Structure 1
Amino acid sequence: MSVEFIGMIGTQEVSEIRPATGPVVDRDTVRRFVAAHEEGGFDRVLVGHSSSTPDGLQVAAYGAAHSERLGFLVAHRPGFTAPTLAARQYATLDHFSGGGRVAMHVISGGSDTDQRRDGDWLDKEQRYARTDEYLTVLRRAWSDPDAFDHAGEHYRVAGVRQEIRPLAPIPVYFGGSSDAAYRVGGRHADVFALWGEPLAGTAEQIAHVHDAARAAGRTEPPRISVSFRPILGDTEDEAWERAHAIRDGIVAAKGGQGSFTGNRMRDAGPPPNVGSQRLLAAAASGELHDRCLWTATAAASGAAGNSTALVGTPDTVAAALADYVGIGVSTLLIRGYDPIADARRYGRELLPAVRTELARRGLDRDATAQGVPA
C-alpha cells in the first residue's frame, strides 16, 4: 500500500480561529498555499466548495499553473452542472495541468441551507439518487468510445460523445457517512472519504463501505480516506497547550470563523448530516480517544466539517496516523488551524515521521523501497 497525503488550500488563509481578511481571491495566498504543500511533499490538495466561495475548478487551474507536480482534489456538488459539462471541465483541467493531477471530490450535500442558496430543494435521499445517476453519466462521458444516450429520473442526454477526455483517469473521491452515502459511494467511488473518528468507529464505517461495494457487484472496494486536524508541539505539553488555546479560540468565535467549517455552512439547530452527528457523538463519549484523538475541537465547532484533532509531537501523531493505515486507510487528509504555517510544519516533520513509522510497521511498500529505515 502506498499512502497518499492530502492537504487543503483556499483563496484566503482562514480557519475556525482565523477570520477571513483581505480580498476574497488573494492570488498570493493561493501561491503560498500551493508552495507549502508542494515543497512539503503532499500528493494533493483539496479545494473546497460552498455556495458562497470562489469556484474550485478555477482555483485549481491557477494553483496548477503555479506548481509542477502537486495534485488537485476539487470538491464538486452534483446537480448544479450537467454531468456531461462537468466531464469536459475536469478533462480540460487535466490537459492544462499535464495529466494525472486532477481528482473530483463528490459531495452530495449535507446542509439543506447551503444547497438552497444555489436553488436545490431536493431532500437528502433525492440528492443521493441524483448523484448516483450523475456519476453514471459522468464516467461514461469520460470513457465510452462510442456515442451514448441516457434517460433517467434526473438526466436525459442523447448522442453524447466527448472530444475532450482525460489524459489520465480522474479518480472520484466521495464523502458521506449515511446509509445512502455508503450505497452510492460504494458503487462509484475510487476513494471513500471519512472524517476522523475513533479507530473503532472508523473500522465500522469501512466495513459498511465494503459491504456496499460488494452489494454493487464490485470485486475491489474503494480505498479509504480519513481527515484530521493535527496539532503539533515540540513536546507533548506544548502540543496540548496549543490544543487548548485553539479550542478556546473556537469557543470565543462561537463555533468558528472558517468558510468551510464555520457558521456559513450551518443549518439552525443540530447538524442534519450524519458525519457531524457521529463526530458529536464521539465527543459526547469522551474528549480523548485511542492514542491522541481529541474531540473537543469538534464539540466546540459543532462538528461543522472535519474537526477532530490529533494532538502531540510529530512522532506521537505519526503513530496515530499509522494506526489508521493499519485498519485499512490509504489516504490521510490533514489540515491545520494556522493553515499555511501548519502545512509547512507537516511537510518538514509530520509527513517524514509518518513515512518512517509506516515503513517500520511494514505498511508502506513505497517508503520501504525508497530506503526509509525499517
Structure 2
Amino acid sequence: MLAGKTVVVGITGSIAAYKAAELVSRLRKLHAKVHVAMSKSATRFIQPLTLRTLSQNPVIVDMFEEPAQWNVAHVSVAEKADLIVVAPATANIIAKMANGIADEFILTTILASKCPVVIAPAMNDRMYQHPVVQANMARLKELGYHFVEPETGLLACGSEGKGRLAEVERIIDRIVELLETGRRDLAGKTVLVTAGGTREAIDPVRYLGNRSSGKMGYAIAEAARMRGADVILVTAPTALPLPTGVEVIQVESAREMFEAVLKCFPRVDIVVKAAAVADYSPVRKSSQKIKKTKGALILELTPNPDILLELGRRKEKQILVGFAAETEELLANAERKMKEKNLDMIVANDVTCPETGFGSDFNKVTLVFPDGRTKELPLLPKKQVAMRILDEVVMLPRFSELK
C-alpha cells in the first residue's frame, strides 16, 4: 500500500517509545521505506539497534554523527520524506515544534520539510490537558500539522485518563490516508458496501447468526473513502467502531439489509457485497423467550431474499462485486455464483484457513472475473486486500462507462 513512499519516524522520550517498534515494523510490511530519528531521551526507553534492525536503515540520534549510510543533513532527509510521523510525541517536543526550536535532528528535519507531519502525543493526562500543551497543539494544527489523538485508559504513572499513545493501527490509518490523498480515482463515484453478519431472530433473546466480524467490509468502505468516493456502508451488527466520513445504515436481519440496499441502489455506481447474509430465517419468531424443555426444539426455516441476485437483475451501469466465502471447491463455487448473479467480479476466500478465517485481520483471496481470468493475492492485511480489490474495480472495462 505504501510502496515507493518514504516515511521518517521520530521517536521521543516517552515510556510509549517501545510501541514505535511495532509502528516501524508495520510500515515496512506495507512496503514503505522507513528512516528513524530518535531524541537522546528516547534511547533511554528503547535501543537504536532495535529500530535499525526493523527499519533496515541506520538510526539517527546525534545531529552531528555521520552514519554509514543515508546523508545525515536534515535538508536531505526532509527532501526524501513523503511523510514524517512523531510517535510518541512528548509535551516537550510539541512545545519545541510549536515555537520553531530545532535542537534535535527530528526537529531540524521537520522545519526543513514540506511533507505532511503527523503527531501522536503521549503523556500524563493532566499534562495533556494543561492549557499550555493544548495551546501548542492548537498552534500546530493551525500551521497544518496532523494529530492522532491519544486514547483514554490506564497510564504508566498509575492514573487513568486521556494521554495514552494512540493504537498503532490508528496511526497507520492516518499515515495511509494522508499518503493516499492524491489517489482520487473514485472521486465522483458512490460506492455501497455491505458488511457484518446478519441476525435472524428466534425470540427476543436468541438469533441465528454467523461468524463474520465485518472487518473486510469496513476496510473496503474506508479504502473507498480514502480514494475519493462517497461511501454508503450498510452494516449488520459488529464489534467494530463505525468508520468516519461515510454514510452508515445499521440493520440487523437479512430482510432489513435487502430493503436498505435496494433503496440505495439507484443512486450508487459500485456495490461491494462483503456482508455474510443469512440464507434462512425462522418462519415464526416467538414474542416471548422460548423456555427450555426436555423435548427437541424444531425450527422451521424459510429462505431469505437473495440480495446479490436481485441487484444483478436490476443493474444498469452499476458494477457489482460479490464475495464467496467457501469451505470447498473454492473457484468452482465462486465462478458459479458470479454467473448466476450477473457480477462483474467476485472475491473468493477459503474461510477454513486459520490465518484468514472469520475475525482475522488478514485475508488471502482469489479474484475471479467473468472472462475466466483469476488473480490470486498473497496473505495480506484486510486493509491491503481492500485496496487491491478497488484497484481491480477501477480497471474493469465497465468502470469507464460510469458517469
Q: Above 0.5 in TM-score? A: no
TM-score, scaled to structure 2: 0.27
Q: Name the one with the larger strand percent.
A: 2
Q: Tell which has more relative contact order, 1 or 2 (C-alpha 8 A, sep 6+).
A: 1
